[in-house]
């Protein structure tokens, strides 16, 4: 069986995304938002965890072409807004 392409993996990640989700992916160590999920949000922590695994898979495949690609510890981050409208970020 052939490996999925970068496009296939990226499409899976985008299919999991939601415009109104309050969960996103971030590198635990550096705080960077990992490509290809850098601008995406997800409805639930469970969905974001699936996206995190797919993001790690995407980056591992991309590293075959670019060995200098940074390694990230991808985690799920919840972003919520309190009653004052101030955005808060909480890590799991």
The 10s digit of each residue's pLDDT in 17-57 is: 999 999 999 999 999 999 999 999 999 999 999 999 999 99
> Across the strands, what pairs with 78?
23, 90
pTM over 0.75? The answer is: yes
Rounded percentage of the chain residues whose pLDDT exceeds 70: 86
CA dihedral 22→20→83→92, nearest 10 degrees, is: 0
Instruction: Please check whether residue 59 is in contact with residue 67, taking contact to mean a CB–CB distance below 8 angstroms.
Output: no
Rounded percentage of the chain residues whose pLDDT exceeds 90: 80
The domain locations on the chain are 6-80
**DSSP 8-state code for residue 12:** H
């Amino acid at each position: 069986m052939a490996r999925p392409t970068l496009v296939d993996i990226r499409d899976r990640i985008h299919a999991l995304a939601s415009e109104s989700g309050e969960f996103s992916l971030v590198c635990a160590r550096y705080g960077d938002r990992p490509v290809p999920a850098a601008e995406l949000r997800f409805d639930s922590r469970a969905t974001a965890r699936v996206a995190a695994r797919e993001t790690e898979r995407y980056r591992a495949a991309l590293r075959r072409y670019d060995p200098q690609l940074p390694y990230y510890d991808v985690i799920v981050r919840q972003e919520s807004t309190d009653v004052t409208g101030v955005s808060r970020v909480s890590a799991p």
